[in-house]
């Protein structure tokens, strides 16, 4: 490589680098608009997916389909899409009452996951409410906190 070629290679490499830098997302710089790409919502869903994989997946499965007659599905159920306080209560206090979902009976107990932080509960429920074909509003940390306060 002669001197000119080396210089050209450097310039090209530099250009590629700055292009890469431009393509890196800068969430902080984005406007806080309530659009489909709401960065706060996206971040919560991303964190919630990790909690789901660590905690809920063993029972409710990767596709949220659950295990028939053992662990109920999390797909468009009234619990998942309905009242957020009741939903947070299920995660913080567990559930031990027979329920019926899509014509199937479930009577195993769900153990409380109260060791999760308010943020983790909010994130995992926001993830569940926006995954598995579900579409519902985010669960806020304050909403989880309020439910936890009633359990003490």
Residues at the interface with ligand HEC (CB under 6 A): 55-56, 58-60, 71-74, 77, 79-80, 87, 90-91, 95-99, 101, 106-111, 113, 124, 128
Least Cβ distance, residue 91 to ligand HEC (angstroms): 5
Least Cβ distance, residue 36 to ligand HEC (angstroms): 23
Tell me how far apart the alpha carbons of residues 128 and 90 are, in angstroms, rounded to a whole number: 13
Contacts of 7 (CB under 8 A, 6+ apart): none
* Distant-in-sequence contacts of 137-142, Cβ < 8 A, 24+ apart: 137/84, 138/40, 138/41, 138/44, 139/84, 139/87, 139/88
The angle at the Cα of 149, spanning 97 to 58, to the nearest 5 degrees, equals 45
Decide whether 42 or 134 has the Cβ nearer to ligand HEC.
134
Decide whether 72 or 144 has the Cβ nearer to ligand HEC.
72
| φ, ψ at 67 (rounded to 5°) | -130, 115
Least Cβ distance, residue 21 to ligand HEC (angstroms): 37
Contact 87, 139 (CB under 8 A): yes
Decide whether 39 or 65 has the Cβ nearer to ligand HEC.
65
Decide whether 6 or 70 has the Cβ nearer to ligand HEC.
70
Least Cβ distance, residue 63 to ligand HEC (angstroms): 13
Decide whether 35 or 63 has the Cβ nearer to ligand HEC.
63
Least Cβ distance, residue 92 to ligand HEC (angstroms): 10
Three-state DSSP at 110 gives strand
């Amino acid at each position: 490589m002669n001197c000119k070629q080396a210089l050209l290679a450097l310039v090209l490499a530099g250009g590629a680098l700055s292009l890469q830098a431009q393509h890196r997302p800068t969430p902080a710089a984005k406007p806080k608009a309530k659009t489909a790409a709401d960065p706060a919502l996206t971040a919560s869903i991303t964190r919630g997916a990790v909690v789901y994989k660590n905690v809920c997946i063993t029972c409710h499965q990767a596709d949220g389909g659950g295990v028939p007659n053992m662990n109920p599905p999390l797909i468009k159920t009234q619990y998942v899409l309905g009242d957020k306080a009741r939903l947070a209560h299920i995660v913080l206090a567990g559930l031990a009452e027979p329920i019926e979902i899509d014509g199937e009976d479930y009577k195993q107990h769900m153990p409380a996951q109260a060791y999760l932080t308010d943020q983790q509960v909010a994130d995992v429920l926001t993830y569940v409410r926006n995954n598995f074909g579900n579409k519902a509003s985010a669960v806020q940390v304050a909403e989880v906190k309020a439910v936890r306060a009633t359990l003490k």
